[in-house]
Amino acid sequence: MIMGVKYVQIFGTGIKMGDFATLITSPDAHIHLTTWISGGYEGKITIGNFCLISPGVRISAATNIEIGNSCMFANNAYVSDSDWHDIYDRAQPVGQSEPIKLEENVWVGDRAVICKGVTIGKNSIVGAGAIVTKDVPPNVVVAGNPAKIVKELDQTAKMNASKAPQKVEVVVANPSNSEVNILGELSIFILRIGFSILMIHHGLEKLQDPQGFGEFVVGKYFPFLPGDPVLWTYGAAITQLACPLGLALGIFARLCSLGLFSTMAFAVYFHLLDTGLEGFPLAVVEGHNYAFELSFIYGAISLYFLCAGPGRLALLRKTNKITYYPKTN
């Protein structure tokens, strides 16, 4: 069973899901799996293996909803085994309820509704927007309100149902355009590019005189580092040349940010040893060089990208996918 995913809303304990399921959801189209307790009995939802559940799907049970293997639910499909209120006594919860059963490899279309007491046979398809109020035999297509058979499937054709996935995936789709802060994303992009250019410049500075930097900076202030100080100089320079390129393009941005953050941590340490705080932050000493402040700002920027990632305007954007591998017996 999948629990605790931000846009998958699960209410009740009588919900079981088989292996190798795929749930796709988004901020404006949550998946709802709900069981209701009435008269001491809690409804049950049983979902088989290899099922696909799309954004906005709602499955609500007061008695029992059984979904077979390899079933697919398109966006905003609704399955409910109850009226949820009595026709006359509308203050009475639940109302009439009858179990629902979907046999293997059923495909429920966009915004289709499966009503109480319905059994849908193997391989059948429920068309988009259909309202299913009566049983559906196997190997047919139903559509309309109320749903009626509009086509019979060729039973001699090979039915290719999902049989071999290796994992369970919960995919959070990208937010709608209305939820994207365009100005904010553009600001992050400009900050990322500008910061990367500055870091490249610092890397090129080190390559101007690697011997001098190695002797008077690395060798003097970092005697605890093993090996040749010049090699450490080249290492820092390469880090400040390669990592900004990755960050600017949004390729392995967090790893690149970690590399830049490490160089800035050493830079802050160097400047504090070289010039000290000298009254910082409450006093300003005339003629004193507070160079560590700039390195600290650079470090804070790299730490931000390390934690938050490069933003949406990147070549390798983070996919909002949570994957887990079910236990095998």
According to DSSP, the residues that pair with 262 across neighbouring strands are: none
- What is the sign of the dihedral through the CA atoms of 150, 156, 159 and 163? positive
Task: Let me know: does 76 contact 57? Beta carbons within 8 Å.
Answer: yes
Asked whether residue 116 falls in the same domain as residue 140, the answer is: yes
The residue with greater pLDDT, 13 or 325, is 13
pLDDT at 179: 52
214 domain residue, yes or no: yes
Asked whether residue 40 falls in the same domain as residue 148, the answer is: yes
Distance CA 223, CA 206 (A): 18
Structural domain span for residue 163: 8-175
Asked whether residue 273 falls in the same domain as residue 234, the answer is: yes
3 domain residue, yes or no: no
Distance between alpha carbon 147 and the CA centroid of its chain, in Å?
36
Q: How many domains does the chain fold into?
A: 2
242 domain residue, yes or no: yes
Total-model pTM: 0.52
pLDDT beyond 60 at 163:
no
Residues 6+ apart with CB under 8 A from 141: 124, 125, 127, 149, 150, 151, 152, 153
276 domain residue, yes or no: yes
Asked whether residue 194 falls in the same domain as residue 93, the answer is: no
Mean pLDDT, rounded, of the chain: 87
Asked whether residue 47 falls in the same domain as residue 74, the answer is: yes
Asked whether residue 139 falls in the same domain as residue 254, the answer is: no
Catalytic residue list contains 32: no
Tell me, what CATH number does 143's domain have? 2.160.10.10
pLDDT at 119: 97
Asked whether residue 12 falls in the same domain as residue 151, the answer is: yes
1 domain residue, yes or no: no
246 domain residue, yes or no: yes
112: nearest Cα among 155, 158, 146: 146
pLDDT beyond 70 at 5:
no
Active-site annotation holder among 85, 201, 202, 271: 85
Domain boundary among 175, 196, 230: 175
pLDDT above 70: percentage of residues in the chain: 87
Asked whether residue 22 falls in the same domain as residue 165, the answer is: yes
pLDDT at 157: 82
